[in-house]
Amino acid sequence: MAMMGLARKLVGARRRPLDASLAYQDHLKAMLRLHPHDRDLAFAEGVGSKTVELFRSQGDGHVAVLRHHGLTDGMAVYDLGCGCGRTAQALVRSGWQGRYIGADIVPGFIDELRRKCPGYVAHVHKAPTLCADDATLDIVYHWSVFTHLPPEECFLYLEDSWRALKPGGRTVFSFLEIGEPLHQDAFMARVRLLRAGKPTGLLDTFLHRDWICHWARQLGFSEPSFTNGADESHHPAFWQTLVAMQKPAA
């Protein structure tokens, strides 16, 4: 009996870091414990912004990226891995009018988004699919989400984005790029932790542009266009690499 308990514990210990849903829920809980009197800061740190000011300016930057890639009033957009609504809150601030759907695996984030953006639709959704009917979306976007998923799950999300996009619709997303000097330190920091036998925290995934182009061709998207993380010619620099691709018009 004791042996079975131990075996179960060991299996649990091995499974836990790979379960993004649990890892993110734990991360949010830890931030809420760290900042018991500042919920906004806890949620900002929950999605990686060190301050509330940064949370807001990064959200405004997200909206600038979306505008650059064609966002206009009246569109239907899907915010995959929307977190607590860094982009959604910025869309509200910007006065954008349209149909917003957000989805995330962490219920606490979705509750917060609903609180901050009444009128926006947001779902807790754990399968690698989009909560949207076929050919109903103008833009599917996600920031710092493929950065935390295994490549196979990225592929499934991209495949389902194609299904849910209208002909002519586009997907825009950010990723950490293997071989990109801007992201090299983050990659090597994880290598050092692993080498030292220390925990690496949330999964960070580094993708290659070639893989994304390969997936785009396989799924029938247009050839992707990339924006380097330091490029500020059309919107504030994003730091992560951005990619955009279109579902061909019918």
Q: Which residues bind ligand SAM (CB under 6 A)?
A: 20, 24, 47-48, 81-83, 86, 104-106, 109, 142-145, 148-149, 153
The CB-of-98 to ligand SAM minimum distance in angstroms stands at 18
CB of 154 to ligand SAM, least distance (A): 9
Question: Looking at beta carbons only, is 7 or 34 nearer to ligand SAM?
Answer: 34
For residue 249, the minimal CB distance to ligand SAM (Å) is 27
46 within 8 A of 28, measured Cβ to Cβ = yes
Give 82 or 212: the residue with its C-beta nearer to ligand SAM.
Answer: 82
CA distances from 7 to 23, 195, 199 (A): 21, 26, 21
The residue among 24 and 100 lying less far from ligand SAM, judged by its C-beta, is 24
Report, in Å, the least distance between residue 20 CB and ligand SAM.
4
Q: Which is nearer to ligand SAM, 41 or 105 (CB)?
A: 105
Closer to ligand SAM by Cβ: residue 144 or 241: 144
CA 143 to CA 158: how far, in whole Å? Answer: 14
Residue nearest ligand SAM by beta-carbon distance: 83
Angle at the Cα of 64 from the Cα atoms of 61 and 70, rounded to 5 degrees: 150
Q: How far is the CB of 107 from ligand SAM (least distance, A)?
A: 10
Instruction: Read off the tokens for 8.
Output: 């179960």
